[in-house]
Amino acid sequence: MVATTQILSVFIIFALALFVVRIGAIALRMTGLSPDVASFQAASAFSGAGYTTEEAEFTVSEPSRRTIVIWLIRLGSIGIVSALATLLLSFINAEGEDFLTLIYVISGVVGILLLARSQLLNRALTPVIELALDQTTDLAIKDYTKVLGLQSEYRVAEIEINEDEWLANDTASGLDLSEEGVILLGIKRNGDYIGAPHPDTEIQPGDTVILYGKEDRLQELADRNEGDVEAHNKARDEHKNILAEQEIIIDQ
């Protein structure tokens, strides 16, 4: 006889594991991580994979995120061990019906995975989890992907500055970056970070600048050579057209 109780236990543990990862991902997103990064780091912490990346270091650099990651690691270690133990018991008690038990387990796991990937379930479950976390924690929702419009054509990009480039040896105000629809968010220099730099802070060769703007403009800026005034004027005219279109939307 197939060990129904043990198999059902595996399904429940597996479903709870997915649910815990979902809660962890939403909690991390509420601390300011993007949805993609939050989902990956939650799954990584729960599984104990522990990928050593800049994203992982950034995730654990903030106390509230570190607490979330610790709990995911603890719950993950318990869940994985329990699932393996229950799965082993299901085969021990299967009494010669190992193949049928295996089919049930695989079918159930596939079904749970398909359900977890359902966009309908995601849309229904995410607001409920967000509301529960909002009521029971001090986390504030700061989904910067939506706030900055990063899901559309706008991006935050890091650009390394070399000699003989447009961005080198000048200031944000001197380069008229704002006239091109680009905002200077920060500068990395010799291991230090200059956040929200003054418009008159000079950008030097060897710096890495963090810029916000439309993706095609950021790419063009990264490739623009020193003294290319024609490209600057073209970018400024394009931004004026964008501002004119936005004025129409505002006036509606």
pLDDT along the chain (252 residues), means of 10: 56 70 78 76 77 67 74 71 56 55 65 66 70 65 61 83 93 91 93 90 94 91 92 93 84 70
Cβ atoms of 130 and 25 within 8 Å: the answer is no
176 backbone φψ class: left, alpha, beta (φ>0; ψ -120 to 50): left
- Rounded CA-CA distance 220/116 in Å is 40
| Rg of the Cα atoms in the chain | 25
Q: Which residues touch 10 (CB under 8 Å, ≥6 apart)?
A: 83, 86, 87, 90, 105, 108, 109
Cβ atoms of 211 and 175 within 8 Å: the answer is no
At residue 172, the pLDDT reads 87
Cβ atoms of 42 and 59 within 8 Å: the answer is no
The tokens describing 78, both together, are 């318990």
Cα pseudo-dihedral 199, 204, 207, 210, rounded to 10? 20
Please state whether the predicted TM-score (pTM) of the whole model is above 0.75: no
Q: Which residues touch 150 (CB under 8 Å, ≥6 apart)?
A: 34, 144, 156
The tokens describing 221, both together, are 């800026």
